Amino acid sequence: METKIHRLPDTVINQIAAGEVVENPASIVKELIENSIDAKAHRITVEIQGGGQQLIRVEDDGSGMGEADARLSLERHATSKIQSVDDLQTLQTMGFRGEALAAISAVSHFELKTADGSQATRILAEGGKIVAMEPCARNRGTTIEIQSLFYNVPARKKFQKSPSTNAAQVAKVVEVIALAHPEVSFTFISQGKKLFEAPAVSSWKERVEEVLGAYPHEVDFQREGLKIWGLLASPDRALANRSGQYLFINRRPIFSPLIARAVKEGYGTRIPENAFPSFVLFLDVAPERVDINVHPQKKEARFREEGQMFRLFEEAVAGAFGLPAFSEPISFDEPPVTENASFPAFSFPPRETPSFLFAEETSLPLSYTEKALAVLGSFFLLEKEGWVLVDLQAAHARVLFETLQKPQAASQALIWPLEIELTRSEAMQADTILEELQKMQIECRFLGQKTLVIDALPPFLEQKDFPEFFRTWQEGKKLEIVTDRFCRSRKKRYSLEEARLLWQKVQECTNHRYDPLGHPIWKKVEEEDFSKWMRG
Ligand code: ADP
Ligand code: MG
């Protein structure tokens, strides 16, 4: 029988694959709910036990799958949603990488029951291997049940949060997705108790009110082919953190420090300097104008027209409070995007995408006396009582150096462990290598005589870079030299978010002025310096 799901060709995989979708129960529930939404479900029920570590069950009444598709759905890089990278330009679904079910079933006892109206199939998988497949009884739709999460990945299991924290995170995921999909009914059950129920409603306003309570100020703003709409909480409901802020771009939940600041500007002096307004805002915009870095863990958006986007949001919010609109027209001075433009709708720099980012970071790292100005390759210019130029390679080396020495730094489990073939002489020192790596929070073991398997890495050491790090380290150099050389030798271009994170982390270091070999991490820059440089 013809299947809907196909394995993506390697060329496509290389451009889109992300590899990390199963951090914790919340990220799993997010993937499963998104699948249900992609399958056009009207009703989605999420149930967990033990914060999700014992049980996660997501049930929907969507399109379901036939038997052959059901089997394919567990394969890596198998998806019904795209066939080529070009399809991303017109992507209508939340998923497209074909990684979630493969990754989730690889680390759990997994049961899939699905029916497409003519066939109903049940598949059992353990640690990614299908152990049973048979016809079953089920109405159209899909149920996925996950038990013993991470039973075979002890490193990840060890770093799971408490059941109550996990349950709260899952609840938040359900809530956030529910906000953007009023036409779907959601139920969330934890420990047998119904904690959240949102029946399908016809307007998003009803949904927001039901989920979050009254947000009295409506935003309804249209300009230059984009639409900003949503609800704002009254200024006296401003919070000390960002937990009341919800932003969706084309219905995807997105975190954007830029827009959060613009909204704050729009509130003007109605809220105090150090408070955060609560809002639910939706932006509908042509996909080519926003560069959503759709790594499953990175809900960041980048706009092609940052300045304009900032002003539009500011204006939209200010308008909701009855302020006059800016008189000056806002121009989009970048050239319009044509079909053959060199800007892809989404840009996927998967091999560049760092795994150390956003592991736990959801708050904006920069303090409010600091303003990020620009990232120039491996330099970061920021404003902080004048200008400060940060050498990101030096900062990275310092942060990595201190992280590797700090035994309490939590390492991040790799879902697909990394294997390194050792030379014969290295293999002879296997015990020493294991011991020393483990001291740096690098969780590893041996497979046979010569294969070193890495299961978890500390933050700031990316999986793709590890082999090179390991080689330099094996040359027997001191850690100062290894980290310094390692961070300086790679031609990494840092993103603005990475720059912010490094800058924040470097300030928590014992020595935040110099890299491990004594090069300065940052310097103040005066106008004079520019003048000397340009005018001699
Ligand atoms: P992706 O969503 O990126 O395609 P997944 O691993 O999440 O990858 O799912 C693989 C495929 O399995 C999907 O492309 C879809 O065809 C199918 N699938 C997954 N979940 C469901 C569901 N709840 N209902 C119907 N089909 C599903
Ligand atoms: Mg998916």
Ligand 1 midpoint to CA 97 (Å): 9
pTM: predicted TM-score of the whole model, two decimal places? 0.63
- Within 10 Å of residue 533's Cβ, how many Cβ atoms? 9
Measure CA 461 to chain center: 17
Ligand 2 midpoint to CA 7 (Å): 14
How far apart (Å, rounded) are the C-alpha atoms in residues 138 and 457? 42
Find the ligand nearest to 103 CA. 1
Identify the residue whose C-alpha is closest to ligand 1 atom 23: 36
Predicted local distance difference test score (pLDDT) of residue 130: 96
Q: What are phi and psi of 426, to 5 degrees?
A: -65, -45
Ligand 1 midpoint to CA 78 (Å): 8
Ligand 1 midpoint to CA 332 (Å): 38
Mutate which of 101, 110, 294 to test ligand 1's pocket (most atoms within 8 Å of Cβ)? 101
How far apart (Å, rounded) are the C-alpha atoms in residues 354 and 363? 17
Measure CA 362 to chain center: 9
Ligand 1 midpoint to CA 73 (Å): 6
pLDDT by residue for the chain (536 residues), tens only, comes to 689 999 988 887 777 766 666 889 999 999 999 999 999 999 999 999 999 999 999 999 999 999 999 999 999 999 999 888 888 777 788 888 899 999 999 999 999 999 999 999 999 999 999 999 999 999 999 999 999 999 988 878 877 888 988 998 899 899 999 999 999 999 999 999 998 899 999 988 999 988 888 788 999 999 878 899 999 998 888 887 788 899 998 888 887 888 998 999 999 888 888 788 999 999 988 777 776 545 555 556 667 777 888 889 999 999 998 754 443 444 443 333 333 332 322 322 222 233 333 333 333 344 556 778 888 889 999 888 788 999 999 999 999 998 888 766 567 777 777 888 888 777 787 888 888 888 888 888 888 778 888 888 887 888 888 888 888 887 767 888 888 888 888 777 888 878 888 888 888 888 888 999 888 999 988 888 888 888 87
CA-based nearest residue to 144, from 32, 49, 41, 50: 32
How far apart (Å, rounded) are the C-alpha atoms in residues 7 and 360? 31
The residue count of the chain comes to 536
Identify the residue whose C-alpha is closest to ligand 1 atom 13: 79
Got the DSSP string for 118-154? S-EEEEEEETTEEEEEEE----SEEEEEEESTTTT-H
Give rounded-to-5 percent helix, strand, coil for the chain: 35, 25, 40
Q: What is the DSSP letter of 429?
A: T
Q: Which amino acid is at 1?
A: M
The set of protein residues with a Cβ atom below 6 angstroms from ligand 1 is: 4-5, 31, 35-36, 39, 60, 62-65, 73, 79-81, 95-102, 142
Identify the residue whose C-alpha is closest to ligand 1 atom 9: 98
Q: What are phi and psi of 211, to 5 degrees?
A: -80, -40
Predicted local distance difference test score (pLDDT) of residue 427: 79
Identify the residue whose C-alpha is closest to ligand 1 atom 2: 95
Annotate 363-415 with three-state secondary structure: CCCCCCCCEEEEEECCEEEEECCCEEEEEHHHHHHHHHHHHHHCCCCCCEEEE
Query: Looking at ligand 1, which atom is closest to the CA of residue 35?
Result: 20
Predicted local distance difference test score (pLDDT) of residue 366: 46
Q: Which two tokens stand for residue 239?
A: 């919070």
Ligand 2 midpoint to CA 251 (Å): 15
Q: Which amino acid is at 228?
A: I
How far apart (Å, rounded) are the C-alpha atoms in residues 434 and 294? 35
- Specify whether the backbone of 322 is left (phi greater than 0), alpha (psi in -120 to 50) or beta: left
How far apart (Å, rounded) are the C-alpha atoms in residues 517 and 511? 12
How far apart (Å, rounded) are the C-alpha atoms in residues 233 and 238? 8
> DSSP alpha helices (H): ranges in 42-128?
67-73, 100-106
- Within 10 Å of residue 120's Cβ, how many Cβ atoms? 22
Mutate which of 3, 40, 73 to test ligand 1's pocket (most atoms within 8 Å of Cβ)? 73
Ligand 1 midpoint to CA 262 (Å): 36
- Within 10 Å of residue 137's Cβ, how many Cβ atoms? 8
Element (H, E) at 174: helix 163-180
Identify the residue whose C-alpha is closest to ligand 1 atom 7: 100
How far apart (Å, rounded) are the C-alpha atoms in residues 348 and 350? 5
Location of structure tokens 């790679």: 490
